[in-house]
Amino acid sequence: MLLSTKKSDVLQYKGCNFFKQRLVLSVLSGKSINITEIRSKSEDEPGLKEFEVSLIRLFDKLTNGTIIELNETGTSLFFQPGLLVGGKIQHDCSLQRGLGYYLEALFMIGCFCKQPLNVTLQGVTCTNVDPSVDLMKTSMISTLKKFILDDEELDLKVTKRGMRPLGGGEVVFKCPIRKQLRPVQILDNGMVKRIRGTAYALRVSPAMANRMVEKAKGVLLNFIPDVYISTDHCKGKQSGKSPGFGMHLYAETTNGVIYSSEQISNLVSQGEEPSIPEDLGVAAAQRLLYEIYLGGITDSTSQSLAILNMALGPKDVSKIVLGPLTEYTIGFLRNLREFFGVTFKIENYENEEDQGGTGSKKVLLTCVGIGYTNISKRTI
């Protein structure tokens, strides 16, 4: 467990755990952070990784007046955030991580910029390490829409796909600015009414996508008849620089809740076992069924985004029901308390109308928002 102490108005941390979370909350709260002993015991590669430096550079582009101090070995970082500006930005991301790693941060800060976000990210769109851009498009956009009104300007467009290790993908993320979020009280996730998805094949035979679709539908049609999975065989520049294939699935409920899953082929060039399309399709379908089983008003990928928007909302009570909290979400709750002093009431949730076999145990999260306001957003 990492310890943090407040000293001279600078939050002190040790180690690299929850690095992105702390940068995001630092920018939103305006509080400086000092992180020491970043992989200091690693003999091969001490200090910050390339993808972490790339994230810092992205925040530097999004803000004005940010002060960044990094020692020679990269094991100590001082970060003093500036004014969150936003606007039109283009950023080449590290190929070590997927674009989803960077997009999560943009989803969290986008509404509070001075200018609407129009960010073009280039790199790896699909990876087993981070959520893919397809999953971000369904899961996080549906979650963010619950907290903002007039969401027509919120969009994530995949212009090029790119697999590891060479990438070549590109996405455009647009996010409107808002003066304030709205409180939510959502307890019922509803019943699954349809399942949609996409199977894509990059620089490999189009038959790969069809083979994935056949097996995935073979699993899902046992539970619901409304299943449609499209195929996307990218050509030329739209297919990136590396071969691979994958599948993204999502289920929509009667109350507009989205559950997402995905599976992506292994990297044979780096010694991993070659993926079989049929196995990958079955795994994607089973993962989606598991997300539905976990339940809640959002899937496990977007738990932190929902919690952040509850904490930053108006000074009113917000309540949501989630499935079992991930370790990432638990760490986020601790960091929220450090930066904003917000604590949540967490209790087991049982709906009296539910009968047995309705999924895993749920938790009810309740908090009073801090009334966070975008001071750059003018009111008419």
The enclosing domain of 290 has a CATH number of 3.30.360.20
Statement: residue 85 has pLDDT above 90: yes
Res 355: pLDDT: 54
> How far apart are the C-alpha atoms of 221 and 219, rounded to whole Å?
6
Answer yes or no: is 182 within a domain: no
Res 196: pLDDT: 97
Statement: residue 1 has pLDDT above 60: no
Q: Please name which of 305, 323, 347, 315 lies closest in space to residue 140, comparing C-alpha atoms.
A: 305
Answer yes or no: is 309 within a domain: no
Statement: residue 41 has pLDDT above 80: yes
Statement: residue 298 has pLDDT above 60: yes
> How far apart are the C-alpha atoms of 179 and 374, rounded to whole Å?
5
Res 270: pLDDT: 74
Domain boundary among 244, 279, 294: 294
> How far apart are the C-alpha atoms of 141 and 143, rounded to whole Å?
5
Statement: residue 203 has pLDDT above 80: yes
Residue 79: CB atoms within 10 Å: 23
pLDDT (mean) for 12-21: 94
Statement: residue 329 has pLDDT above 90: yes
Statement: residue 3 has pLDDT above 50: no
Choose the weakest-confidence range: 44-48, 135-139, 151-155, 182-186: 151-155
Tokens of 358: 């309705």
Tell whether omega for the bond before 324 is within 30 degrees of 0, i.e. cis: no
- Contact by Cβ (8 Å): 297, 322: yes
- Contact by Cβ (8 Å): 189, 364: no
Answer yes or no: is 163 within a domain: no
Tokens of 45: 């590669």
Choose the weakest-confidence range: 13-27, 228-242, 322-336: 228-242
Answer yes or no: is 302 within a domain: no
Give 238 or 57, the one with higher predicted confidence. Answer: 57
- Grouping H, G, I as helix, E, B as strand and the rest as coil, residue 274 is coil
> How far apart are the C-alpha atoms of 231 and 234, rounded to whole Å?
9
Q: What is the DSSP letter of 124?
A: B
Percent of the chain scored above 70 by pLDDT?
Answer: 94
Answer yes or no: is 349 within a domain: no
> How far apart are the C-alpha atoms of 377 and 113, rounded to whole Å?
8
At 5, is the pLDDT very low, low, confident or very high (cuts 50, 70, 90)?
very low
Choose the weakest-confidence range: 6-20, 116-130, 179-193, 237-251: 6-20
Number of structural domains the chain divides into: 2
Statement: residue 6 has pLDDT above 60: no
Domain boundary among 31, 54, 84: 84
Indicate the average pLDDT of the chain: 91
54 lies in which domain range? 1-84
At 267, is the pLDDT very low, low, confident or very high (cuts 50, 70, 90)?
confident
- Contact by Cβ (8 Å): 27, 47: no
> How far apart are the C-alpha atoms of 127 and 240, rounded to whole Å?
13
Number of residues assigned to the chain:
380
- Alpha helical stretches, state H, the chain: 19-29, 50-62, 99-109, 133-135, 141-145, 207-220, 277-294, 303-312, 327-340
